[in-house]
Structure 1
Amino acid sequence: MGGTVVSPRARLVGDGVENPANAEALAEAARMFAVPCSFRDSRGLAEHLPELSTVDTAALLGGAGPLIAVDNAPRAESVYRAGTLHSGASIVVGNERRGIRPDVLRAAAKTVQIPMPGRGVNTLNVATAAAVALYYLLDAHGRRQARAPRPESHRPTLLLAVPRDHVEAGSSLRSAAAFGWQTVVVDDREKVWFGTPRPVRNEARAAARSHRNPLHVVPGGDAWSSPPGSRVVVCAPDVDGPPLHRTELTGPGTVLVIPDGDGWEPRPGAEFARVAVPGAAGRYRLLTGIVLAEAARQLGTRTAGAPRPPRRGMSYGSGLDLTAPPDTDLVQPWELTHY
């Protein structure tokens, strides 16, 4: 499950992961960075994945190297500012809903989080988060400076070029929303997002967290072209160009293109940025997450203004939970628009 052992620098550990598809994607993220992958299996993953590489609690907490927890826990530092790892570190990501268990957080030498400036969705798929963390904890030295304090004026247009799988496309759109994009263009020649059968559409929208996601998805393809005078930067692992983190990915008029494989031909004059990973290229969601994280890092974060004075008088709040009685099916508002 974890592939051949590869590097003593670190290992990736999934703590309490329960979705077998996510476990397989985590193993692919580890292969991208040539590190082994193990799981502290408390959710019965081994029943679905017989070749799963596991680690028990004693071995995880008492290992020779430090524990690095990837979690948005209080006082976690930005993964962009994390220092060089000591050899043999265990980089731990947690359960899809509950995160990392408290014993690992207590034992961790460092806890890092991936900053999420998005308005609706504010988390990544667990495998995408692992790929982003590995990229910054193991590589990406010599990075460009961030642009703060006015990041939105430099946010590039984003084009997802010819995604080949509807779940990978949906997860990539989830990442785009989490990293602060409000509009994304999709060149959907493989018909994974627009005009798909209802079951495929529902799976794709679920992967994108569309019910919590204010993202506007625009069809691309032959009918869409980048604005005149724009600067097109194609980001992929197999292109001839400088490393991603040393390439300017932002700025007015910039179009950031992330192709899924080699099925998209850039126009003449396009620039290229190489997603430098030591292992296999990995799934589309993993590559997209790394590119978007680096673009978001280069954009920086808006400088906080002066705190607002407290409101006078009474204040009001509202908290309504959507619940489903037995034998009923909840329909999200976005689904109604497709009837």
Structure 2
Amino acid sequence: MTRLIGDGLENPANARALIAAAEMFSVRCGFRDGRGLPLGLSTVDTAELLGAPLVAVDNAPGAESVYRAAPVRGAASVVVGNERRGIRPDLLRAATRTVQIPMPGRGVNTLNVATAAAVALYYLLGAAGRRVVRGPRPESQRPGVLLAAPGDHVEAGSSLRSAAAFGWPSVAVEDRDKVWFGTPRPVRAEGRAAARSHRNPLRVVPAPGGPDPAYTRIVVCSPGADGPPVHRADLTGAGTLLVIPDTGWEPPPGAEFARVDAPGAAGRYRFVTGIVLAEAARQLGPRPTGAAPRPPRRGLSYGSGLVLDAPADADVVEPWELLRY
């Protein structure tokens, strides 16, 4: 049976979130080296790990895109690494495969470790029959995103971090529970830390009235939605708004639906958001590499910006007269 392994994690909150990500996909979760983590976590030793197939989730050189990776079969271990240093070299060298989650974002280009694990498991454990990539000019087809009624400030912050990492310049938040706007300072600090706001260029826009009527198509993405899995639904297009609701949010009439197809996705808001945005980014396709070519320079051109507006009793001097001096 597939299992999820955290290698050298240091943050107890991330360890708990990693367990939640494993539960979302009904796989076991273990930790290699649990120093600094709560007692009672399931740990595995290095020899045990090296004796079975390893799939490393790391942006190491030569790593394959997780979107193109073959599904995991049998008793493989999917390994994610330390929050700052990633997977340690001995496991990277021993990995059967190394996959990465493409991050087109600027400023923030990494996910929370547990969100990265959830996204990787979504593609490595199935997500078959995916829609084709749009290809050229992906930015012209990038949909809007509305986080609808998030119930927790850290979940909202981590979701906003994911949006920035997957290339969104702005996200709207319908904040009826006041977890993001107008919150007390300690709550605000925790949420902004989860969002990596100190280097996150994302623009967060309040949406008190719900979806912007300027959008012509609304796709509600959630666990248990009455629609196709998100990887088979069209999540892109100009005029499209992706709505990712938490709880207690009523979709507008005429909305389409797409399902986050994972057994335990309900209540895992940051993971659901990460999967939806990853899939939308996959469908958009990669940004073109390199800078856009500049148009050829035509040389300098000039225009007259002078207007002769002298009083009636003044002497008007023509330019040719000035040239005599």
**Interval of TM-score (by shorter of Structure 1 and Structure 2):** 0.7 to 0.9
Cα distance between partner residues in 1 of 2:149 and 2:23: 24
Cα deviation, 1:128-156, whole Å, max 9, x if unaligned, reads: 00000000000100000011111100000
CA distance in 1, matches of 2:217, 2:51: 50
Residue among 17, 24, 41 paired with 1:52: 41
Q: Secondary structure at the match of 1:119?
A: coil
**What aligned pairs does 1:165-176 form with structure 2 within 5 A after superposition?**
165-176=152-163
Report the CA distance between 1:25 and its aligned residue: 0.7
2:271 aligned to which of 260, 274, 286: 286
User: Equivalent residues in 2 for 1:215-230 (5 A)?
Assistant: 215-222=202-209, 224-228=210-214, 230=216
C-alpha distance in 1, partners of 2:80/2:96? Answer: 14
- Residue 282 of structure 1 and its aligned partner are, at CA, apart by 4.7
Distance of 1:106 and 1:282 partners within structure 2: 36
The 5 A counterparts of 1:58-77 are 58-63=47-52, 66-77=53-64
Q: Give the secondary-structure state (helix, strand or coil) at the position aligned to 2:106.
A: coil
Between the aligned partners of 2:214 and 2:112, the Cα distance in structure 1 is 35
* Alpha-carbon contact 1:148-1:303 (below 8 Å) kept: no
Gap regions ≥5 residues in structure 1: 1-7, 309-339
SS of the residue 1:238 aligns to: coil
Q: 1:229, 1:160 → 2: CA distance? A: 15
TM-score, normalised to structure 2's length?
A: 0.87
Question: What SS is found at the alignment partner of 2:67?
Answer: helix
Instruction: State the alpha-carbon separation in 1 of the partners of residues 186 and 215 from structure 2.
Output: 40
Query: SS of the residue aligned with 1:170?
Result: helix
Kindly indicate whether the alpha-carbon contact (under 8 Å) linking 2:246 and 2:267 is maintained by their aligned counterparts in 1: no
- Equivalent residue, structure 2, for 1:241: 227
8 Å Cα contact 2:34-2:41 kept in structure 1: no
Please tell me whether the aligned partners of residues 138 and 287 of structure 2 are also in contact (alpha carbons under 8 angstroms): yes
Q: Which moved more, 1:158-167 or 1:296-305?
A: 296-305
1:13 counterpart SS class: strand
SS in structure 2 at match of 1:80: coil
Count, aligned residues: 294
Task: Check if 1:101 corresponds to 2:101.
Answer: no
CA contact (8 A) 2:220 2:257 kept: yes
Distance in structure 2 (CA, Å) of the matches to 1:136 and 1:285? 17
State the partner residue of 1:259: 245
Give the 3-state SS of the residue equivalent to 2:234 in structure 1.
coil
Deviations, residues 53-94 of structure 1 (Å, cap 9, x unaligned): 11011111123xx10000011111100000122311100000
Using the size of structure 1 for normalisation, the TM-score is 0.84
Match of residue 296, structure 1, among 267, 281, 297? 281
Q: CA deviation at 1:188?
A: 0.4
Report if aligned partners of 1:121, 1:174 keep a CA contact under 8 Å in 2: yes
Q: Secondary structure at the residue paired with 1:141?
A: coil
Residue number in structure 2 paired with 1:272: 257
Identity %: 74
Distance 1:229 1:40 in 2: 47
User: Do the aligned partners of 2:222 and 2:260 also contact (CA within 8 Å) in 1?
Assistant: yes
Residue 60 of structure 2: SS of its match in structure 1?
coil
CA deviation after TM superposition for structure 1 residue 26, in Å: 0.6
Partner residue in 1 for 2:320 = none
Q: Does the aligned pair in 2 maintain the 1:166–1:203 contact within 8 Å?
A: yes
Contact 1:155 1:252 in 2 (8 A): yes
Deviations 1:169-211 (A, max 9, x none): 0000000000000010000001010000111111111100011
Partner of 1:193: 180
